[in-house]
């Protein structure tokens, strides 16, 4: 029995190494002072971070990613909350169908969503930036729905009924009673949609265009056409930092574990 | 009066769902239907697609050995990644179940964090490790074990390793969720009745965790199918998958073929989903079937 539990521990440790190792290496490499990776590193430097902000296309991509993630996540949070409020209240075949529809982008091959939206946007003449934002909002909405639904499960609907029977309009009831109780789920859903949009590849691959590129796509293009330069490691480290800040915030708000139930 | 109240409440609920519903119809269902429509047309030089309705895009894919080869390779990679992640993920999930809740949620946070880092960065991490100037070649070269850098990149194996590490957390989380719902009393009952740890595992724990196995395998397999960037960065031109062909067709503006390939990819995902659910029958655990 002891032997078994030691084997389990070793496998767990090795898994963590192969999962986190590549990310750790990227962060380590980004502080390298030399042109290429050296091991052991010869000191630390912020050279590649300066370099990152000196390259206009990188800087623009970082800002655009922030802009897209911010707008798309707000849109996703609004749509997700509306859908979750509905799904939590009603039962039946139609509701089950809607539930499946709203959550399907989670498992649906996103590359197909990317191609479909590309063709559709071309047909209707959608400009690049709004198209990108709409696609990212679509990918982010299911996460918001799930997190708001988790909050709603702990919510007592009779509180709402009490509010309405005391003469409050549905809108007033929502802002005074429902919204405060689902706030943790809503906030973490919003942050999660932000993170998802900030790292999104499969739809952005098709929906970005000349001059309108998100950071992951810029990194991808750089890796393909300029080779692996350490400025990419700096760009990656900047993204990882942002993710860490947001993850800690979500953990404080609701506890990350509620995300996976 | 009661009827009126209920009516207002019902309509109110439908008003709630209208914006997200319209959004999903306009930017998800609609574009997919349009994509299918495009896939049924011939290729045109001047327009996005020709005027003739035809099945020839699908017929070509079905009859071309090159596409068969790529589809087989895609399926092989998907099976390898999902199978290996099950083998490695199961022990991890088992040891997490036995941890104290606070340690478990700490580890869960550590596993969730990489999922939020963009896949392009995680693939780049593997380039930094396995590339010509990567960690492995650098260390081996410095020690003097190798004269020239080892070619560790651009193979199907590299793609499988990369995708495995990227998707493993999903598998672990699915398995953990299933294992946490397994009633410990059942395991103890089996042991009290004389079953050894191995038998208890094979006949009690493992069957009861099938919902987690099914959802983990499915999630990992489906995510493998659309992982274009990882395949491209780690596999290069020699290890193209179905998703690479979709991308190439889009970039060369052969829209109807790109659309048809996308639907072939979708058909494969649906077929795999059905097969796995039929084969593993996770619904047994809930007593349905």
Whether B288 shows a pLDDT value over 60: the answer reads: no
Whether the pTM exceeds 0.95: the reply is no
Tokens, residue A120: 């559709």
Whether A190 shows a pLDDT value over 50: the answer reads: yes
Compute the mean pLDDT over every residue in chain A, rounded to the nearest whole number.
86
Position A129 scores a pLDDT of 93
Whether A18 shows a pLDDT value over 80: the answer reads: yes
Indicate left, alpha or beta for A41 from its phi (over 0: left) and psi (-120 to 50: alpha): beta
Chain B residues touching residue A234 (CB < 8 angstroms): none
Angle at CA B56, nearest 5°, toward B53 and B61? Answer: 145
Position A256 scores a pLDDT of 61
For residues A182-206, give the mean pLDDT. 89
Q: Is residue B184 included in any domain, yes or no?
A: yes
For residues B260-268, give the mean pLDDT. 94
Whether A3 shows a pLDDT value over 80: the answer reads: no
Q: Is residue B56 included in any domain, yes or no?
A: no
Indicate left, alpha or beta for B176 from its phi (over 0: left) and psi (-120 to 50: alpha): alpha
Q: Identify which of B129, B134, B229 has the shortest CB distance to residue A201.
A: B229
Whether A134 sits inside 8 A of B232 (CB atoms) is no
Q: Identify which of A1, A83, A201 has the shortest CB distance to residue B20.
A: A83
The answer to whether A188 and A182 have CB atoms below 8 angstroms apart is no
Whether B53 shows a pLDDT value over 80: the answer reads: yes
| Greatest mean pLDDT among A103-107, B139-143, B221-225, B277-281 | B221-225
For residues A174-188, give the mean pLDDT. 84
Angle at CA A125, nearest 5°, toward A122 and A129? Answer: 90
For residues B39-46, give the mean pLDDT. 86
Whether A107 sits inside 8 A of B128 (CB atoms) is no
Whether B165 sits inside 8 A of A232 (CB atoms) is no
Q: Around B222, how many Cα atoms within 13 Å sit in the side-chain half-sphere?
A: 25
**CA nearest to B124, candidates A225, A23, A202, A57:** A23
The answer to whether B281 and B210 have CB atoms below 8 angstroms apart is yes
Q: What are chain A's domains?
A: 55-260 (1.10.3720.10)
Chain A residues touching residue B126 (CB < 8 angstroms): 22
For residues B258-287, give the mean pLDDT. 86
Domain containing B266 — which CATH number? 1.10.3720.10
Instruction: Tell me which residue has tokens 């989380």.
Output: B173
Structure-model confidence comparison of residues B67 and A172, the more confident one = B67
Q: Is residue B20 included in any domain, yes or no?
A: no
Q: Is residue B111 included in any domain, yes or no?
A: yes
Whether A170 shows a pLDDT value over 80: the answer reads: no
- How close, in Å, is residue B60 to chain A by CA atoms? 20
For residues B25-48, give the mean pLDDT. 91
Distance (Å, whole) CA A218 – CA A232? 9
Tokens, residue B223: 């995510």
Q: Which of A112, A213, A230, A245 to mutate to test the interface with B (most CBs of B within 10 A)?
A: A112
Indicate left, alpha or beta for B149 from its phi (over 0: left) and psi (-120 to 50: alpha): beta
Position A255 scores a pLDDT of 66
Distance (Å, whole) CA B262 – CA B35? 9
**CA nearest to B229, candidates A120, A222, A105, A240:** A222
* φ and ψ of B53, to 5 deg: -80, 130
Position B2 scores a pLDDT of 65
For residue range A46-86, what is the model confidence (pLDDT) as tens digits? 888 888 888 888 899 999 999 999 999 999 999 999 999 88
Q: Is residue B33 included in any domain, yes or no?
A: no
For residue range A104-121, what is the model confidence (pLDDT) as tens digits? 988 888 999 999 999 999
Position B3 scores a pLDDT of 66
Structure-model confidence comparison of residues A238 and B282, the more confident one = A238
Position B162 scores a pLDDT of 95
Q: Which residue of chain A is at minimal alpha-carbon distance from B263?
A: A112
Position B289 scores a pLDDT of 43
Whether B95 sits inside 8 A of A122 (CB atoms) is no
Structure-model confidence comparison of residues A154 and B40, the more confident one = B40
Q: Is residue B169 included in any domain, yes or no?
A: yes
The answer to whether A31 and A46 have CB atoms below 8 angstroms apart is yes
The answer to whether A73 and A246 have CB atoms below 8 angstroms apart is no
Q: Identify which of A8, A223, A255 has the shortest CB distance to residue B95.
A: A8
Whether B5 shows a pLDDT value over 80: the answer reads: no
Compute the mean pLDDT over every residue in chain B, rounded to the nearest whole number.
88
Whether B28 sits inside 8 A of A8 (CB atoms) is no
Q: Which of B15, B39, B117 to mutate to test the interface with A (most CBs of A within 10 A)?
A: B117
| B210 at interface of A, judged by CB pairs closer than 8 A | no
For residue range B170-223, what is the model confidence (pLDDT) as tens digits? 999 999 989 988 878 888 888 888 888 888 888 888 888 888 999 999 999 999
User: Burial level of A200, CB count in 10 A (0-12/13-18/19+)?
Assistant: buried
The answer to whether B24 and A138 have CB atoms below 8 angstroms apart is yes
Q: Is residue B278 included in any domain, yes or no?
A: yes
Whether A111 sits inside 8 A of B246 (CB atoms) is yes
Question: How many domains are contained in chain B?
Answer: 1
Indicate left, alpha or beta for B86 from its phi (over 0: left) and psi (-120 to 50: alpha): alpha
Whether A257 shows a pLDDT value over 50: the answer reads: yes
| B143 at interface of A, judged by CB pairs closer than 8 A | no
Distance (Å, whole) CA A29 – CA A37? 6
Position B228 scores a pLDDT of 93
Whether A29 sits inside 8 A of B128 (CB atoms) is yes
**CA nearest to B35, candidates A204, A202, A112, A103:** A112
Whether B33 shows a pLDDT value over 70: the answer reads: yes
Position B190 scores a pLDDT of 85
Q: How confident is the model at residue B147 (pLDDT cuts 50, 70, 90)?
A: confident
Q: Is residue B194 included in any domain, yes or no?
A: yes
Size of interface A-B (CB pairs under 8 A): 255
- H or E element at residue B123: helix B119-130
For residues A213-234, give the mean pLDDT. 86
* Domain span holding position B112: 68-250+259-284
Q: Identify which of B19, B27, B228 has the shortest CB distance to residue A111.
A: B228
Number of CB atoms found within 10 A of residue A253's CB: 17
Angle of helix B242-251 relative to helix A110-124, nearest 10 degrees, comes to: 20
Whether A253 shows a pLDDT value over 80: the answer reads: no
Whether B91 shows a pLDDT value over 50: the answer reads: yes
**CA nearest to A141, candidates A183, A182, A94, A101:** A101
């Amino acid at each position: 029995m002891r032997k078994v539990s030691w084997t389990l521990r070793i496998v767990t440790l090795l898994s963590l190494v192969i999962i986190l190792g590549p990310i750790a290496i990227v962060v380590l490499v980004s502080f390298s002072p030399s042109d290429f990776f050296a091991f052991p590193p010869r000191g630390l430097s912020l050279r590649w971070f300066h370099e990152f902000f000196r390259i206009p296309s990188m800087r623009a991509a970082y800002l655009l990613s922030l802009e897209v993630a911010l707008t798309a996540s707000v849109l996703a949070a609004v749509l997700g909350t509306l859908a979750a409020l509905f799904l939590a209240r009603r039962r039946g075949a139609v509701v089950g169908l809607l539930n499946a529809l709203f959550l399907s982008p989670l498992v649906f091959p996103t590359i197909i969503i990317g191609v479909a939206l590309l063709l559709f946007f071309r047909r209707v003449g959608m400009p690049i930036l709004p198209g990108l934002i709409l696609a990212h909002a679509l990918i982010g909405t299911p996460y918001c729905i799930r997190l708001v639904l988790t909050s709603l499960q702990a919510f007592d609907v009779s509180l709402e009924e009490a509010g309405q029977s005391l003469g409050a309009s549905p809108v007033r009831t929502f802002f005074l009673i429902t919204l405060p109780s689902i706030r943790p789920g809503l906030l973490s859903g919003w942050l999660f949609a932000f993170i998802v949009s900030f790292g999104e590849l499969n739809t952005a691959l098709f929906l970005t265009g000349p001059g309108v590129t998100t950071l992951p796509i810029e990194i991808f293009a750089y890796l393909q056409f300029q080779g692996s330069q350490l400025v990419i490691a700096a760009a990656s480290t900047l993204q990882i930092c942002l993710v860490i800040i947001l993850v800690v915030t979500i953990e404080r708000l609701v506890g990350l574990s509620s995300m996976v139930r | 009066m009661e009827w009126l109240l209920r009516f207002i409440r019902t309509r109110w609920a439908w008003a709630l769902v209208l914006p997200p519903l319209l959004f999903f119809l306009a930017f998800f269902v609609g574009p997919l239907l349009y994509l299918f429509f495009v896939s049924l047309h011939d290729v045109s030089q001047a327009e996005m697609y020709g005027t003739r309705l035809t099945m020839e895009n699908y017929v070509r894919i079905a009859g071309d050995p090159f596409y068969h080869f790529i589809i087989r390779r895609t399926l092989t990679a998907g099976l390898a990644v999902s199978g290996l992640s099950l083998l490695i993920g199961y022990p991890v999930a088992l040891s997490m179940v036995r941890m104290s809740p606070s340690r478990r949620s700490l580890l869960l946070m550590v596993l969730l964090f990489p999922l939020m880092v963009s896949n392009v960065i995680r693939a780049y991490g593997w380039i930094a490790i396995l590339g010509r100037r990567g960690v492995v070649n650098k260390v081996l070269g410095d020690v003097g074990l190798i004269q020239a850098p080892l070619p560790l990149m651009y193979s199907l194996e590299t793609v499988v390793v990369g995708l495995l590490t990227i998707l493993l957390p999903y598998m672990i989380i699915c398995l953990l969720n299933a294992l946490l719902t397994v009633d410990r009393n059942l395991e103890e009952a089996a042991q009290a009745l004389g079953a050894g740890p191995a038998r208890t595992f094979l006949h009690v724990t493992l069957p009861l965790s099938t919902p987690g196995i099914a959802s983990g395998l499915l999630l990992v397999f489906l995510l493998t199918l659309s992982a274009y960037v990882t395949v491209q960065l780690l596999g290069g031109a020699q290890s193209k998958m179905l998703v690479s062909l979709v991308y190439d067709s889009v970039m060369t503006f052969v829209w109807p073929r790109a659309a048809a390939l996308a639907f072939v990819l979708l058909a494969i995902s649906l077929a795999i989903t059905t097969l796995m659910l039929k084969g593993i029958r996770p619904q047994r655990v809930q007593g349905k079937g």
